[in-house]
């Protein structure tokens, strides 16, 4: 899709919803994922590794 076409397209879906409605829908999705047991929760080791990766990327970017 060309850039010119994107500017004339009408907004749809989440783009036209107010922020509170978007949060409500996202919350329902998160609750459903936890109820089904398919949601991911970071444990402390995963969080530590992710933090180190983020720090490295930031240092490399300058």
For 58, residues 6+ apart whose C-beta sits below 8 A from its C-beta are none
Four-residue CA torsion sign, 31, 34, 36, 41:
positive
DSSP H helical segments within the chain, as ranges?
3-8, 19-36, 44-61
Spatial separation of the C-alpha atoms in residues 19 and 26, rounded to whole Å: 11
Residue 19: pLDDT band (50, 70, 90) is very high
Predicted TM-score (pTM) above 0.95: no
The answer, yes or no, to whether residue 4 has pLDDT greater than 60, is no
């Amino acid at each position: 899709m060309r850039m010119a076409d994107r500017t004339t397209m009408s907004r749809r879906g989440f783009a036209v919803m107010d922020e509170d409605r978007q949060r409500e829908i996202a919350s329902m999705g998160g609750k459903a994922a936890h109820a089904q047991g398919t949601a991911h929760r970071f444990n402390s080791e995963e969080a530590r590794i992710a933090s180190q990766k983020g720090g490295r990327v930031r240092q490399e970017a300058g």
